[in-house]
Structure formats: C-alpha cells, structure tokens
C-alpha cells in the first residue's frame, strides 16, 4: 500500500504590511491612520469599486508584480458621506527586491502624525522661523503622502526629496499667488504676518497667499525659509 507524503508547506518568510490613508471631503486633507478606521454606531464604512473622476480605474487595484493591493472605502455618517480611504495591503516574500523600497516609503509617510502634531503647536511667526527645518520636513512628508494617494503607489518615485517650492502665479487684476502650507495653523500665522507687514493676505477662497507684484521680494525674503531650499541647502 502506497504511503501518502504530507504536503510540503511554503516555508517562505513573508513581509506583510497595511497602510491606511484618510482624506476628508472638505478640502481633502490627508492623514495617516495608525490602524483601521474605528467603527461607531452612526458610521458605516463601504468598499468602493471606482475612482472619482476616473471611472476606468477600478478597485481593488492589484499590483501583482509589485506585491501589493490598493482598496478604496467611503465612510458614511448618518447616511452622508464624510471621508474616503485608501488601504494598501503588502504581501511579499521578505527577500523580494521591493521590500526595502516599500519600508522606506512607509517609514516616511508614518512620520506625518507626529510632524502634524508639532506644527500644530506653533503659535507665532517667530516660532515658525525657529522651526523652519521642521516645517520643510513636514511639507516634504505631506507631499509624499499626497503622491502615494494620487498615484496609488508606494514605489520609490512617490517619496518627495524636498518641501513645496516657492512659486508665484498670476491670478487676476494685478494680484499674484504663492502656494500655502499644508496646515491651516501655519497658514493663519503667515496670513497674519503678511497683513501685519502690509504685503498680502491668506486667501482660503483662492487657496494661496495673495500679494501684488511690487511686494514679491519682501514676501520671498519673509517666507523662503519654509519652502524648498536652493540647491545644496535642503535638509
């Protein structure tokens, strides 16, 4: 009588990770969750199958070759949608060539809650200047979170290497716009300083700091510590 051999189990060690990103409907503010969204009696979490504005993009998105899957959810509170979520699920052999790349991305984006807490505690423009390096680091990490969200990717190219650049764009009627920070506390402090110096204002309607052409140089000197530094100066 032939003896059956026990089935060989896969002994390959796995690298498994889960990343949750949340975007509020109002302003689409991004945040990193340390765990699955909490469930309340008045909140329901539903999984979605398509991307807003891109019906040809279907979820779950499986990146088989890269070893992860992206799922999309919407939360509803009392029947009204309140936030959207992306869930990245990584499942790879520990020796896979992408593991170290993904670890670096996850390590970077998971800095966001701590950095957010620190910049939220800043109370004055003077303190902002003293903590300019912290603010640039916060912006760099936030840009990375945005890219991971927009591209559905945790690949190396998603990681930003610098803060938001200082850019001036024409709006209308002689007014120009500088991009704001990614934190309303910082935006309000800068807005107050611009008004104090009679240089411009913080416009939520236009989504930027608004100033006139003859104030470019003064505004640049005032705000440049918080934006992308010149070559060799980024920390």
Q: How much of the chain exceeds pLDDT 90, in percent?
A: 61
CA distance 205 to 166: 20
Enter the tokens of residue 203: 């416009």
Residue 232 has pLDDT above 50, yes or no: no
Residue 86 has pLDDT above 80, yes or no: yes
6-33 pLDDT per residue, tens? 544 456 799 999 999 999 876 589 999 9
By C-alpha distance, which of 120, 121, 166, 115 is closest to 142? 115
CA distance 48 to 85: 10
DSSP characters over 40-75:
-TTEEEEEESEETTEEEEESSEEETTTTEEEEEEEE
CA distance 102 to 107: 8
46-64 pLDDT per residue, tens? 998 876 556 667 899 987 7
User: What SS3 class is residue 126?
Assistant: helix
Alpha helices in 96-234 (DSSP H): 99-109, 112-120, 125-130, 132-151, 184-196, 216-223
Residue 95 has pLDDT above 70, yes or no: yes
The model's pTM: 0.87
């Amino acid at each position: 009588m032939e003896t059956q051999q026990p089935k060989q189990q896969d002994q390959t060690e796995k690298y498994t990770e889960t990343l949750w990103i949340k975007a509020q409907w109002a302003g689409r503010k991004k945040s990193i969750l340390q765990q699955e969204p909490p469930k309340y009696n008045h909140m329901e979490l539903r999984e979605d199958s398509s991307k807003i504005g891109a019906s040809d993009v279907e979820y779950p998105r499986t990146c088989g070759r890269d070893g992860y899957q992206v799922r999309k959810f919407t939360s509803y509170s009392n029947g009204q949608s309140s936030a959207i979520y992306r869930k990245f699920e990584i499942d790879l052999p520990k020796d896979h060539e992408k593991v170290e790349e993904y670890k670096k991305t996850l390590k970077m984006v998971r800095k966001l809650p701590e950095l957010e807490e620190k910049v939220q505690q800043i109370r004055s423009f003077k303190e902002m200047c003293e903590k300019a390096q912290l603010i640039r680091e916060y912006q760099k990490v936030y840009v990375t979170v945005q890219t991971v969200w927009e591209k559905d990717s945790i690949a190396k190219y998603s990681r930003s290497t610098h803060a938001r650049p200082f850019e001036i764009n024409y709006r209308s009627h002689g007014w120009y716009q500088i991009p704001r920070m990614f934190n309303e506390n910082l935006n309000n402090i800068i807005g107050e300083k611009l008004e104090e110096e009679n240089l411009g204002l913080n416009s939520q309607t236009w989504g930027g700091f608004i100033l006139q052409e003859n104030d470019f140089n003064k505004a640049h000197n005032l705000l440049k510590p918080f934006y992308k530094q010149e070559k060799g100066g980024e920390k």
